[in-house]
Amino acid sequence: MSAGVILALAVAIAVAIAIAVRSGRRGVARHRDAIREVLAHNGAGRCLAAIPLLRTLAAGGDQQAIAAAWEALELPLVQALPDCPPDAKPELVVVLDACAQACSNRELTKRIMTLRRSIYP
Protein backbone atom coordinates (compact mmCIF):
# COMPACT_ATOMS: atom_id res chain seq x y z
CA MET A 1 0.00 0.00 0.00
CA SER A 2 1.14 3.47 -0.70
CA ALA A 3 1.66 6.11 1.96
CA GLY A 4 -1.30 8.09 0.65
CA VAL A 5 -3.71 5.19 1.14
CA ILE A 6 -2.41 4.52 4.63
CA LEU A 7 -2.73 8.20 5.53
CA ALA A 8 -6.28 8.32 4.18
CA LEU A 9 -7.23 5.24 6.24
CA ALA A 10 -5.69 6.72 9.36
CA VAL A 11 -7.61 9.99 8.89
CA ALA A 12 -10.88 8.10 8.28
CA ILE A 13 -10.39 6.03 11.44
CA ALA A 14 -9.55 9.13 13.50
CA VAL A 15 -12.68 10.90 12.25
CA ALA A 16 -14.85 7.86 13.02
CA ILE A 17 -13.45 7.66 16.57
CA ALA A 18 -14.00 11.39 17.12
CA ILE A 19 -17.61 11.12 15.95
CA ALA A 20 -18.27 8.12 18.21
CA VAL A 21 -16.80 9.85 21.27
CA ARG A 22 -18.68 13.06 20.58
CA SER A 23 -22.04 11.35 20.09
CA GLY A 24 -21.51 9.32 23.28
CA ARG A 25 -20.91 12.48 25.29
CA ARG A 26 -24.00 14.05 23.77
CA GLY A 27 -26.06 11.07 24.93
CA VAL A 28 -24.88 11.53 28.50
CA ALA A 29 -25.35 15.30 28.40
CA ARG A 30 -28.89 14.88 27.11
CA HIS A 31 -29.93 13.31 30.43
CA ARG A 32 -27.99 15.61 32.75
CA ASP A 33 -30.99 17.87 33.48
CA ALA A 34 -33.24 14.89 34.17
CA ILE A 35 -30.65 13.50 36.60
CA ARG A 36 -30.51 16.85 38.40
CA GLU A 37 -34.30 16.87 38.59
CA VAL A 38 -34.36 13.42 40.21
CA LEU A 39 -31.67 14.47 42.70
CA ALA A 40 -33.66 17.60 43.59
CA HIS A 41 -36.40 15.41 45.09
CA ASN A 42 -36.27 13.68 48.44
CA GLY A 43 -37.71 10.41 49.66
CA ALA A 44 -40.73 9.14 47.77
CA GLY A 45 -40.46 11.94 45.22
CA ARG A 46 -36.98 10.78 44.26
CA CYS A 47 -38.20 7.23 43.61
CA LEU A 48 -41.10 8.48 41.54
CA ALA A 49 -38.92 10.91 39.56
CA ALA A 50 -36.32 8.22 38.83
CA ILE A 51 -38.76 5.84 37.15
CA PRO A 52 -39.33 7.81 33.91
CA LEU A 53 -35.62 8.64 33.62
CA LEU A 54 -34.57 5.02 34.05
CA ARG A 55 -37.26 3.93 31.58
CA THR A 56 -35.94 6.40 29.00
CA LEU A 57 -32.34 5.29 29.55
CA ALA A 58 -33.25 1.61 29.22
CA ALA A 59 -35.26 2.24 26.06
CA GLY A 60 -32.34 4.14 24.54
CA GLY A 61 -29.96 1.30 25.33
CA ASP A 62 -27.03 3.71 25.69
CA GLN A 63 -24.77 1.98 28.20
CA GLN A 64 -22.63 5.10 28.71
CA ALA A 65 -25.69 7.17 29.58
CA ILE A 66 -26.97 4.47 31.94
CA ALA A 67 -23.56 4.26 33.63
CA ALA A 68 -23.30 8.03 34.04
CA ALA A 69 -26.81 8.25 35.45
CA TRP A 70 -26.21 5.30 37.75
CA GLU A 71 -23.06 6.92 39.16
CA ALA A 72 -25.15 9.92 40.17
CA LEU A 73 -28.33 8.10 41.23
CA GLU A 74 -27.25 4.87 42.93
CA LEU A 75 -26.64 6.15 46.48
CA PRO A 76 -29.53 8.70 46.44
CA LEU A 77 -31.91 5.92 45.32
CA VAL A 78 -30.64 3.60 48.06
CA GLN A 79 -31.30 6.38 50.59
CA ALA A 80 -34.78 7.08 49.18
CA LEU A 81 -35.86 3.45 48.88
CA PRO A 82 -37.41 3.14 52.38
CA ASP A 83 -39.76 6.03 51.49
CA CYS A 84 -40.66 4.68 48.05
CA PRO A 85 -44.43 4.19 47.75
CA PRO A 86 -45.37 0.48 47.69
CA ASP A 87 -47.35 0.89 44.47
CA ALA A 88 -44.30 2.41 42.71
CA LYS A 89 -41.93 -0.41 43.67
CA PRO A 90 -43.08 -2.89 40.98
CA GLU A 91 -42.55 -0.26 38.29
CA LEU A 92 -39.14 0.61 39.72
CA VAL A 93 -38.20 -3.08 39.61
CA VAL A 94 -39.23 -3.28 35.94
CA VAL A 95 -37.16 -0.25 34.89
CA LEU A 96 -34.14 -1.43 36.89
CA ASP A 97 -34.39 -4.82 35.17
CA ALA A 98 -34.58 -3.07 31.79
CA CYS A 99 -31.52 -0.93 32.56
CA ALA A 100 -29.57 -3.98 33.69
CA GLN A 101 -30.50 -5.85 30.52
CA ALA A 102 -29.40 -2.90 28.38
CA CYS A 103 -25.89 -3.07 29.87
CA SER A 104 -23.15 -5.44 28.84
CA ASN A 105 -20.81 -4.28 31.61
CA ARG A 106 -21.06 -6.95 34.31
CA GLU A 107 -20.05 -4.67 37.18
CA LEU A 108 -22.67 -2.07 36.27
CA THR A 109 -25.33 -4.74 35.82
CA LYS A 110 -24.43 -6.23 39.19
CA ARG A 111 -24.77 -2.85 40.93
CA ILE A 112 -28.16 -2.19 39.33
CA MET A 113 -29.42 -5.68 40.21
CA THR A 114 -28.24 -5.32 43.81
CA LEU A 115 -30.58 -2.36 44.25
CA ARG A 116 -33.34 -4.16 42.33
CA ARG A 117 -33.07 -7.22 44.62
CA SER A 118 -33.21 -5.02 47.72
CA ILE A 119 -36.73 -3.95 46.72
CA TYR A 120 -38.12 -7.49 46.54
CA PRO A 121 -35.55 -9.97 47.84
Q: What is the largest CA-CA distance in the chain?
A: 67
What percent of the chain stands above pLDDT 90? 64
Mean pLDDT throughout 53-77?
93
Q: Look at residue 51 and tell me whether its pLDDT is greater than 70.
A: yes
What percent of the chain stands above pLDDT 70? 77
> With 0-12 CB in 10 A as exposed, 13-18 as middle and 19+ as buried, what is 103?
buried
CA dihedral 64, 67, 72, 73 (to 10 degrees): 130
Q: Look at residue 95 and tell me whether its pLDDT is greater than 70.
A: yes
Angle at Cα 121 formed by Cα 63 and Cα 86, nearest 5°? 85
CA–CA separation, 114 vs 121, rounded Å? 10
Whole-number pLDDT of residue 110? 95
Mean pLDDT throughout 95-101?
95
